[in-house]
Structure 1
């Protein structure tokens, strides 16, 4: 009886571990798409509405959902409350907190960090160029993320369960 319970627990744990890894592969393209959309909204707010950066980020945060909203909300809060942070510092701080709870890779984070260095330091036209560049780079990463998700999501789901079943067979 205890062997059966142990086997079930082991298979469930292995399956859950595989599903957690697979979930990160599946979440990354969704998060990148949300970031691209948010950056396009930010570009519209800055270029066409001539909204100050703090307000523009707050509007983008209100228009988006999920953890991407938190990224823009935290950055706008740092700018609007007047913590004395530059736009780049506010973005960097928000990005560090965002990265912890996201499924983004180091490459994705580097693209967003580079964007942060340009925010608020130049005119609207230059910021537009940096926002478009970041969107294009993220679109390339999105295609890579979709390929990785298609390839790895199912594999990790199966690997979790099959690996646990193999362990059960070896142990019993």
Structure 2
């Protein structure tokens, strides 16, 4: 009886490992979507209202979904307590925290160098470029979630089942 319970726990652990891998893929899609929505708002605010960077970060923190909202909250908070640090460095540090070693980080990092430093048209073009790149990454992440998601879950469960059989 105890061996059967142990085998069931091992099989469940394998399925849980697969489920966690699938949830990471879902989270990546959610993160990219969140930033895409934020970039749309950002472009509108810069284009039509000429919103200064601190106010823009506050606005985006309130109007966007997670995890982009926490990123913009962090940028705003760091901007207020900055000493000699530039906005691009604050932006970069926020991205390092939120998106460690993700391709999305590289794309978004480019935007931090441009925001607040160029005219409205230059900023708008940069935001448009980043949006197009993120849309491509989103399509890629959704495809990966569809194809690899099933495989991760199935392989996690299969490995757990194999280990359970070996234990019996």
With structure 2 as the length reference, what TM-score do the two structures score?
Answer: 0.93
**Counterpart for residue 106 of structure 1:** 102
Q: Secondary structure at the match of 2:116?
A: coil
Report the Cα offset of residue 82 of structure 1.
4.2
> What's the counterpart of residue 41 of structure 2?
41
Q: Deviation at 1:41?
A: 0.7
- Highest relative contact order (Cα 8 Å, sep 6+), 1 or 2? 2
CA distance in 2, matches of 1:68, 1:8: 39
Q: Which runs of 5+ in 2 are unaligned?
A: none
Superposed counterparts of 1:99-138, under 5 Å: 99-100=99-100, 106-138=102-134
CA distance in 2, matches of 1:49, 1:31: 26
Structure 1 counterpart of 2:17? 17
Provide the TM-score with structure 1 as the length reference: 0.91
Q: Secondary structure at the match of 1:118?
A: coil
Does the 8 A contact of 1:78 with 1:85 survive in 2?
no
SS state at 2:56 partner: helix
Query: Matches of 2:29 and 2:77 in 1, distance apart?
Result: 27
- Residue equivalent to 2:54: 54
